[in-house]
Structure 1
Amino acid sequence: MTRTQTRSATALALLATVSLTLAACADDSGGGSGGEGPVDLSFASLDQGSAWYSYAVSMGQAIEPALEDNSVVEVLTYAGSIGNPELVATGEADLATSFSAVTSWAVNGTEGTPFEGEAFDNLRVLVGGLDQYYFGPITPAGSGVDSLRQVVDEQIGADLVSQPRGSLGDAGTQLVLQAYGTSVDDVTSWGGSFEPTSTDVATNALRDGNADLWIQAITAGHPNITELAETSDIRILDIDDDAVAALEPLGLQAATLPGGTFTGQDEDVQLLGFTTTLIASADMPDDVAYAITEAVIDSADSLREANASMAGFDPATAWTAENTGGVDLHPGAEQYYQDAGLME
């Protein structure tokens, strides 16, 4: 996907998507951490039904009382992992969920990714390692598709769905197909189709037999994938070694989804792996970044309770390069981790 396509998709999302304003959570004793007055923050996530939307709502509820009285965190139901870094870098959002590898692509303008040729080097990480994500293909058991390699070798006209434009689901689908030596255009030329759509629509399409493949970012406890596995017969397919090797230069590594993660998925599956990060611009005031980071870390227990896919979130490693994709911490966040004794 080109940068122009990403911008166009982001603009459409900005026009078409309704955002949610969280109810203020401050108690009667007054506001939270420093600043010169109330702060209005926009928090880019993904569409309702996605894990990221749930994360943003939960984190927003933790962040609001940590800021000055009457501060507001507005959760935006767009634009996904590819769109979110650009929204933050250009000042259209103050906070966003992103993936560690994708934020690194955005900061470095990595060749072979949607950010090639345009680096957003003002992006900074507040919190890393919020979860462990995987990326790979899901198919209904009756689709006749046993592997992506089979789709290519037999030129199967599969009906593909993905998450909306601007999400990793969309861009990642195309990168994975490229790693197998094919493309969306090839699949459609074989009689298949490709529809970027909402998480809920993609879920229903697989359940109802209206799609053959969904190449998707998933995590243990993901609400839609959990529901899909419990209400229909699906299979999660391997990403083979050759495809993994082709994607490693982009910072995507093999990761094993343990057997039993989802209903009916009894065996380990080799997929791609990365973590979710909370990002902001370097222009965010240090005291605001400090307060946000502190609020998220202090709320780790409640965040894990509210989001099953965050069960492995460990504040002690939230600042490490492994969990931030090697992207610099915001100075305010770094100061918090030092003050909290989590890093030297």
Structure 2
Amino acid sequence: MGRKGLFACLLALGLIFVLGTAGAEKMTFFRIGTGGTGGTYYPIGGLISHCISNPPGSRPCDKGGSCGVPGLVAIAQSANGSVANINAIKSGVLESGFSQSDVAYWAYTGTGIFEKKGAVEDLRALANLYPETIHLVARKGSGIKSVKDLKGKRISMDEPGSGTLVDARIILEAYGLTEKDVKADYIKPNPAIDKIKDNQLDAFFIVAGYPTGSVVELASSVGGELVPINGPEAEAIVEKYGFFAKDVIPADTYEGIGETESLSVGAQWVVSAKVDEDLVYQITKAIWNKKSRALLDKGHAKGKMITAETALDGVGIPLHPGAERYYKEAGLLK
């Protein structure tokens, strides 16, 4: 072979190598809509993103690298919460997001708060994650000892588009109140805390896994109180809405605050039906591997509650085919 022939051969081999490398280094982005930075969705979203990501150039799993999906870059995005995440999935702005179980069901069936908006027929479930507890947090010395004491008080019900706002309205109604009976504000927990510190707000709602950062911050600074959501009114909510369950926030979860009865809903990871089946299969497989288990256990107090064994609990909408395939292979679904 002449020098020109050799050069052409080497050039061809080089191109094959470059193209092969480019193919191997293909990058896929996958967005997860979470909640405000002061809640639980956001840090849990960051943990899950870390578990399922394996960017191009990363060390392979068997060599101490990430055990996520090869080429995947998952991004946890701060958002307004359940309703906003589902709307963003519907419009294609997000591939997936976190939602309360009640909101996900209403969205898929076109009932409840989605009755006038219409059903989000492409919404699918990837996994149930953990219980979210309704926190009704009051300013210390506000005199608010029960939900009924909210009458005439300045309270934040969270922003429009949040699952918290939906649940806050349900709770007020159950206790014989409406938004007209309170001085309602519609802001996220962190600015709500700032207003409480400035004596411009008396209480706020947040639905999140405990301990949640905003309540930790308030309790450890100026102090706060948790208002119980219990009694026959709470029992009526559980009976009327199958998504709610009785819950208890243990004593000392937050500094200086005793055991408090409340209600909870499930936090679920939902995804668009339009996302590739094989990709969702790989993502589902990645979140339940041993390395992810260790990351979840160490990364957040609620991480230990995110398990494959409870991944199908309370799921009221169809599974994505990719997730369904994994759960059947794992023996978790018949």
TM-score range, shorter chain: 0.7 to 0.9
Aligned partner letter, 2:187: T
Structure 1's unaligned 5+ residue stretches are: 1-29, 188-192
Q: Does structure 1 retain, via aligned residues, the 8 Å contact 2:69–2:286?
A: no
| Deviation, structure 1 residue 75 | 2.9
Q: Does structure 1 retain, via aligned residues, the 8 Å contact 2:86–2:104?
A: yes
| Deviation, structure 1 residue 201 | 0.8
Aligned pairs for 1:223-242 (under 5 A) are 223-242=213-232
| Deviation, structure 1 residue 35 | 11
Matched residue, 1:197: 187
Mapped partners of 2:326, 2:148: distance in 1: 47
| Deviation, structure 1 residue 208 | 4.0
Q: TM-score, normalised by structure 2?
A: 0.81
Mapped partners of 2:228, 2:169: distance in 1: 16
Deviations 1:92-115 (A, max 9, x none): 2101011122211211223xx321
Greater shift after overlay, 93-102 or 46-55? 46-55
Deviations 1:99-150 (A, max 9, x none): 122211211223xx3212422232111111x222111411122101111123
| Deviation, structure 1 residue 335 | 1.1
Q: Does structure 1 retain, via aligned residues, the 8 Å contact 2:189–2:204?
A: no
Mapped partners of 1:136, 1:48: distance in 2: 16
**Selected match of 1:292 from 273, 278, 283:** 283
Q: Does structure 1 retain, via aligned residues, the 8 Å contact 2:193–2:218?
A: yes
Following TM superposition, the consecutive aligned residue runs of length 4 or more in structure 1 with deviations greater than 6 angstroms are: none
Matched residue, 1:157: 152
Mapped partners of 1:124, 1:300: distance in 2: 23
| Deviation, structure 1 residue 158 | 0.7
Matched residue, 1:61: 50
SS in 1 for 2:113: coil
Q: TM-score, normalised by structure 1?
A: 0.78
Matched residue, 1:52: 41
Matched residue, 2:17: none
Aligned partner letter, 1:295: A
Mapped partners of 2:24, 2:83: distance in 1: 31
Matched residue, 2:251: 259
Matched residue, 2:124: 124
Q: Does structure 2 retain, via aligned residues, the 8 Å contact 1:45–1:75?
A: yes
Mapped partners of 1:217, 1:235: distance in 2: 15
SS in 2 for 1:114: helix
Matched residue, 1:81: 82
Matched residue, 1:144: 143
Aligned partner letter, 2:245: Q
Give the percent of matched residue pairs that are identical in Structure 1 and Structure 2: 26
Aligned partner letter, 2:120: F
| Deviation, structure 1 residue 246 | 4.0
Aligned partner letter, 2:175: Y
Mapped partners of 2:311, 2:143: distance in 1: 41
Q: Does structure 2 retain, via aligned residues, the 8 Å contact 1:42–1:75?
A: yes
Q: How many residues align?
A: 296
Matched residue, 2:207: 217
Mapped partners of 2:168, 2:51: distance in 1: 33
**Selected match of 1:186 from 181, 188, 204:** 181
| Deviation, structure 1 residue 256 | 2.3
Closer, same or farther in 2 for the Cα pair 1:83/1:246, shift >3 Å?
farther
SS in 2 for 1:132: strand
Indicate the RMSD between aligned Cα atoms, in angstroms. Answer: 2.5
SS in 1 for 2:114: coil
Aligned partner letter, 1:137: L
